[in-house]
Amino acid sequence: MTTPLVAGVSVAAAALGGRYLIRAWQAFKARPAVPRVRRFYEGGFDQNMNRREAALILGIREHAAMEKIKEAHRRVMMANHPDSGGNKYLAQKINEAKDVMIGRTKGSGSAL
């Protein structure tokens, strides 16, 4: 006598639990999408690069220390180097961003 009762309670509990899980899943799928933070600069380049654009390309602050600039340049350049499938134009802009951030101009010719 107790076996059918236990079986019925078990089936009812499984049905209620399944209904709860289905509703929770639907509520999870219906939640608004949270925008993700972008790690790298996405956008076109200006004719003359300024410090703000250079900092966005390298993913650092405008007044970052020299070590941070070098570290960010290396990280971004490794991801976009032409020898490993990257774009030559993008590598040129990354190098230009590093030059702008450390204060070098096009005609200075000073080595780092």
Tens digits of per-residue pLDDT, 8-44?
999 999 999 999 999 999 999 998 877 766 665 566 7
Closest CA to 57 of 46, 78, 75, 42: 42
CA-to-CA distance for 107 and 112, rounded, in angstroms?
14
User: pTM above 0.75?
Assistant: no
Assigned CATH for 36-112: 1.10.287.110
Neighbours of 51 (CB within 10 A): 13
CA-to-CA distance for 35 and 56, rounded, in angstroms?
18
Domain segments of the chain as ranges: 1-34, 36-112
CA angle 74, 78, 81 (to 5 degrees): 120
